[in-house]
């Protein structure tokens, strides 16, 4: 697997709804990441269907762009990184430990990207399965506001490097709400990450028994001012002042919700293969 294999940039930009190639600057980075998250859903359905997660660049591109499916962080941020590189950004992957719901020190099960613009380092993440966090310069302290009203900041820790922290709601793909206090999302260091590191982390994340991604069917999508999620049969949608929660009671209703809210098309056999309905 090549970390930054060549990409059909026009097809990618069409997938995320950008008509022109943006400049390789901070505004361009923000535009690409924002459109990516508004357009390509986060999902782990192939894990639940027993197909596994391939990080072959051609497979990822075919799945997320041509087949208009979604993916989880290792797929999403690989595609995002390849697009950034094609646009002209200086970017590379990082690995992170996700602290939300963690019991002890969590493993490195998340990837994001480090982007350098005019000598300044930024983190850019198109693949975290929670609400939208904008690109942020790698500086501890300053707060950044997201479109849903939540706030983000970076801090440093002696043992775990950098922490991305969030204050606000919602941040989780199962619709739970965070208290109005700073919560750590994930930690990361700036050490180089090789293709083999990503393959190992992806394998653990997609195969280890009794973890979130091997026991739950998770789908989510960033909305202009909020977030929609479908975890097993529980649906949550928050956009501005609007908040809806519902239980999906049939395979037909699940297929319709997948299609009309998240843009994912599964056939009846695939939906039944998720094991959510009898």
Point out the residues that are catalytic: 73, 110, 125
Q: Decide if 195 contacts 201 (C-beta within 8 A).
A: no
Instruction: Report how far residue 226's alpha carbon sits from residue 242's, in angstroms, rounded to the nearest whole number.
Output: 9
Write the DSSP symbol of residue 224. T
Instruction: Report how far residue 184's alpha carbon sits from residue 155's, in angstroms, rounded to the nearest whole number.
Output: 10
Q: Give the pairing type, strands 136-137 and 218-223.
A: unpaired
Q: Give the pairing type, strands 151-157 and 143-145.
A: antiparallel
Instruction: Report how far residue 179's alpha carbon sits from residue 245's, in angstroms, rounded to the nearest whole number.
Output: 19
Instruction: Report how far residue 166's alpha carbon sits from residue 176's, in angstroms, rounded to the nearest whole number.
Output: 14
Residue linked to tokens 């909020």: 226
Residues comprising the chain, all counted: 278
Return the sign of the alpha-carbon dihedral for residues 16, 17, 23, 25. Answer: negative
Instruction: Report how far residue 237's alpha carbon sits from residue 241's, in angstroms, rounded to the nearest whole number.
Output: 11
Q: Decide if 136 contacts 122 (C-beta within 8 A).
A: yes
Kindly report the backbone phi and psi dihedral angles of residue 226, in degrees, each rounded to the nearest multiple of 5, phi listed first.
180, -140
């Amino acid at each position: 697997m090549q970390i930054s294999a060549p990409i059909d940039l026009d097809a990618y930009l069409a997938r995320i709804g950008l008509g022109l190639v943006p400049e390789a600057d901070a505004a361009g980075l923000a535009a690409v990441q924002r459109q990516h998250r508004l357009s390509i859903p986060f999902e782990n359905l192939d894990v639940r269907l027993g197909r596994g997660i391939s990080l072959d660049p051609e497979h990822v591109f075919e799945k997320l762009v041509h087949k208009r499916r979604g993916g989880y962080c290792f797929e999403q941020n690989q595609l995002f990184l390849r697009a950034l590189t094609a646009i002209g950004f200086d970017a590379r992957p990082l690995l992170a430990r996700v602290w939300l719901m963690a019991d002890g020190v969590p493993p490195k099960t998340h990837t994001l990207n480090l982007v350098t613009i005019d000598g300044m380092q930024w983190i850019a993440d198109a693949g975290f399965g929670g609400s939208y966090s904008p690109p942020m310069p790698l500086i501890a302290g300053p707060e950044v506001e997201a479109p849903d009203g939540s706030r983000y900041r970076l801090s440093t820790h002696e043992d775990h490097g950098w922490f991305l922290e969030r204050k606000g709601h919602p941040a989780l793909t199962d619709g739970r709400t965070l208290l109005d206090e700073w919560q750590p999302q994930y930690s990361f260091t700036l050490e180089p990450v090789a293709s083999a590191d990503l393959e190992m982390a992806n394998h653990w994340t997609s195969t280890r028994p009794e973890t979130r991604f091997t026991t739950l069917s998770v789908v989510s999508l960033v909305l202009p001012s909020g977030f929609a999620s479908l975890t097993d049969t529980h649906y949550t949608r928050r956009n501005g002042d609007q908040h809806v929660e519902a239980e999906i009671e049939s395979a037909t209703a699940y297929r319709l919700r997948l299609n009309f809210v998240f843009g994912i098309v599964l056939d009846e056999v695939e939906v039944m293969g998720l094991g959510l309905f009898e």
